[in-house]
Chains A and B, each alone.
Chain A
Amino acid sequence: MGKIAIEDLAKIQEAARYKIALRQGAGRVRINVHMGTCGIAAGARGILTAVMKEIEARNLHDVIITNSGCAGLCSQEPMMTIEVLGEPAPVKYVLLTPEKITKIIDMHVLKGQVVKECALALGSERTR
């Protein structure tokens, strides 16, 4: 394997330190993108990348991004679940597009306002 530059490793290390702090505090926000066969076919991988890029661009360190298997609602894919510490229930967002991602991160993750027109139902799933 070609060498990852020392400074790159240092960046990863620094990032990981945040991550450990997050794990201990469990993170303020958890975003889980569903990555079953239907989700992948409907564009879930691009949604995951869009989420990562938006979080990075906003320099947010208290968000954990994961992906996990099928949520069993194939016609609603791509989907993601957002859990915010202190909110009563996780919110499942459906039929996602990169534009919706920008809006959901601005409204829900930053301002705590659920984007109702993109949401499925409150409280239908927990990811932890």
Chain B
Amino acid sequence: MEDLSLHILDIAENSIAAGAHNISIVVNEDAAHDLLTIEITDDGKGMSAEVLRSAADPFYTTRTTREIGFGLALLKDAAEMASGGMEIQSTPNLGTKVRATFQLSHIDRKPLGDMVETITALLCSSVEVHVLYVHARDGNKVVFDTREIRDELGSISLNSVKAISVIRGYLNQEEDTLAH
């Protein structure tokens, strides 16, 4: 994966595959602590202790069933390359939280990439999910919550080319307010 926003999309696709209705994505760039934190939380089916153990382990992963793949291993690798790490908390029937940390200034830290493309891609997944997206950078913050838009619009779908185009424009503007 070229950048972290692609990893985030991949991890959020796991949430959708796990039947999540709500996904929250929190990205925090904290220069004062030289830390980048990414948290993806869902209310999907969660993982049993056994899946959880293997999901975090790329070696066990590749040698067992197709049930286990390598998206999580790739994120873990990206975090460790930048002096960080990845942890997964998961409870069957309740949901999963994947947290990855990176040394912000590390030379091998992948760039964040285009978070707006990642969020809009999630909005047109084949099953509808609520997405909460928070992107904080040194005290400034973008918050995007599909629930808020839906509350204003009633129970209609956000997945249409026009709606997503409007949201893309809005998010790009919001992200610009974070620029250094």
Binding site for B on A (CB under 8 A): 1-2, 4, 8-9, 11-20, 23, 32, 35-37, 40-41, 45-46, 48-49, 52, 55-56, 60, 63, 65-70, 127
A-B contact count (CB 8 A): 112
Taking CB atoms, residues of chain A closer than 8 Å to B161 are 15, 52, 55-56, 60, 63, 65
Closest to A37 in B: B71
CB of B152 within 8 A of CB of A9, answer yes
CB of B69 within 8 A of CB of A66, answer no
CB of B153 within 8 A of CB of A13, answer yes
Give the number of chain B interface residues (Cβ < 8 Å): 41
Taking CB atoms, residues of chain B closer than 8 Å to A23 are 157
Closest to A20 in B: B156
CB of B159 within 8 A of CB of A1, answer no
Taking CB atoms, residues of chain B closer than 8 Å to A15 are 160-163, 166
Question: Which of B9, B13, B125, B170 lies in contact with A8, CB distance below 8 A?
Answer: B170
B74 within 8 A of A: yes
* Majority-rule SS of B interface residues: helix
- Min CB distance, A31 to chain B, in Å? 10
Mark each residue of chain B from 132 to 143: 1 if its CB lies under 8 Å from any CB of chain A, else 0: 000000000011
Given contacts A8-B166, A52-B161, list 7 more A-B pairs with CB under 8 A: A1-B143, A9-B153, A16-B160, A19-B156, A37-B71, A56-B161, A65-B161
Most chain A CB within 10 A, of B144, B152, B167, is at B152
A11 in contact with B124 given A1-B143, A20-B157, A45-B117 (CB within 8 Å): no
B120 within 8 A of A: yes
B126 within 8 A of A: yes
CB of B166 within 8 A of CB of A12, answer yes
- In the complex, which residues 11-34 of chain B have their Cβ closer than 8 Å to any Cβ of chain A? 13, 16-17
Question: Which of A17, A18, A35, A66 lies in contact with B9, CB distance below 8 A?
Answer: A35
Q: Can you name 21 A-B residue pairings with CB atoms under 8 Å?
A: A1-B144, A2-B174, A12-B153, A15-B160, A15-B162, A16-B158, A20-B156, A23-B157, A36-B13, A37-B10, A45-B6, A45-B121, A52-B164, A55-B161, A63-B161, A65-B124, A66-B125, A66-B126, A68-B126, A69-B16, A127-B126
B149 within 8 A of A: yes
B118 within 8 A of A: yes
Closest to B17 in A: A69
B77 within 8 A of A: no
Taking CB atoms, residues of chain A closer than 8 Å to B118 are 45
Taking CB atoms, residues of chain B closer than 8 Å to A68 are 125-126
- Min CB distance, B8 to chain A, in Å? 10
